[in-house]
């Protein structure tokens, strides 16, 4: 099974991806995580990636597509869950070609809907575990008093540099301009479904599972 989770920053794509990955034995491909790794390489590409990410802008399609191409040619277990990719029509079309080349197809595209006001609150209070990726929120879903991750016990809980209100407004504009046209793209292919991302995390997960198992 190959699935895309679509939605603005802070919609819960990462959280839901990790849950679905465990349930269906999928490999999570998060271009955000891959790019955060790439920026630390100290190469020319790493510098370009850093500059775009720090500005809240998208990294160029050719860089992102080559990262995905490299990963897709590796093992897929039961399939892939794409988290934060594709983000442009160019990336969507490249993914179609890559999947066709490996004799695969997309089974579902799930749009997680959250309004802008809630995204600001979610993003500015967001922390995550640098070891296992578990996401916390300073008021809604706090880590325990020992400042340790409840899932893996790591004490390395971090706040992303781009998780602030000014970067978020640019990231949201990028989403509406370049990513939201993908909703029409996948609707026309008959594989788009939407869930309300404002509900409790467990309910959002159940609603996604219902769509996937229907």
HSE value, Cβ hemisphere, 13 Å, CA-based, for 153: 0
One of 64, 106, 119, 182 touching ligand AMP (CB under 6 A): 64
Q: Select which of 39, 122, 126, 178 is catalytic.
A: 126
Single out the catalytic residue among 18, 87, 122, 178. 87
Indicate the residue whose CB is closest to ligand AMP: 32
Is 23 noted as a catalytic residue in this protein? Answer: no
Catalytic entry in 13, 18, 122, 178: 13
Evaluate whether 168 touches 120 at the Cβ level (below 8 Å): yes
Residue 80 interacts with ligand AMP (CB under 6 A): yes or no: no
Tell me if residue 171 is catalytic.
Answer: yes
DSSP 8-state secondary structure symbol assigned to residue 86: -
Is 38:49 a contact under the CB 8 Å cutoff?
yes
> Looking at 18, 87, 122, 126, which residue binds ligand AMP (CB under 6 A)?
87
Closer residue to ligand AMP (CB): 44 or 148: 44
Query: Phi and psi for 150 in degrees, rounded to 5?
Result: -70, -20
Catalytic-labelled residue, pool 39, 122, 171, 178: 171
Q: What tokens were used for 43? A: 């190469």
Binding ligand AMP (rule: CB under 6 A), the pick from 59, 106, 123, 168 is 59
Our answer to whether residue 27 is catalytic in this structure is: no
Integer Cα distance of 183 and 112 in angstroms: 11
Only one of the segments 79-87, 103-111, 113-121, 141-149 lies at the binding site for ligand AMP (rule: CB under 6 A); that segment is: 79-87
Does residue 79 contact residue 3 with C-beta atoms inside 8 Å? yes
- Report the distance separating Cα 127 and Cα 191, nearest Å: 32
Q: Is 28 in the site for ligand AMP (CB under 6 A)?
A: no
Of 16-24, 85-93, 107-115, 128-136: span binding ligand AMP (CB under 6 A): 85-93
Nearest in space to 4 (alpha carbons), one of 214, 168, 211 = 211
Q: Residue 86, preceding bond cis, omega within 30 degrees?
A: yes
Question: What residue ranges in 51-107 does DSSP mark as E strands?
Answer: 80-83
- Piece of 38-46, 55-63, 69-77, 114-122 that binds ligand AMP (CB under 6 A): 55-63
The residues that touch ligand AMP, with contacts defined as CB under 6 A, are 9, 31-32, 35, 52-53, 56-59, 64, 84-85, 87, 91, 162, 171
Show which residues are catalytic: 13, 87, 126, 160, 171
């Amino acid at each position: 099974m190959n699935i895309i989770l679509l939605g603005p920053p802070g919609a819960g794509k990462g959280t839901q991806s990790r849950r679905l990955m465990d349930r269906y034995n999928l490999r999570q491909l998060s271009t955000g995580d891959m790019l955060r790794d790439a920026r630390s390489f100290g190469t020319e590409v790493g510098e370009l990636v850093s500059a775009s990410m720090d500005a809240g802008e998208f990294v160029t399609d050719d860089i992102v597509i080559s990262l995905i191409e490299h990963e897709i040619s590796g093992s897929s277990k039961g399939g892939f869950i794409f988290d934060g990719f594709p983000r442009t029509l160019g990336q969507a079309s490249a993914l179609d070609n890559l999947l066709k080349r490996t004799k695969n197809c997309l089974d579902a595209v799930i749009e997680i809907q959250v309004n802008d006001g809630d995204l600001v609150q979610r993003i500015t209070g967001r922390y995550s575990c640098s070891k296992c990726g578990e996401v916390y929120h300073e008021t809604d879903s706090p880590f325990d008093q020992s400042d340790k991750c409840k899932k893996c016990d790591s004490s390395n809980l971090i706040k992303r540099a781009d998780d602030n209100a000014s970067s978020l407004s640019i990231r949201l504009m990028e989403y509406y301009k370049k990513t939201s046209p993908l909703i029409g793209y996948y609707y026309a292919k008959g594989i788009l479904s939407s869930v309300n991302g404002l509900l409790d995390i467990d309910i959002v997960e159940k609603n996604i599972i219902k769509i996937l198992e229907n």
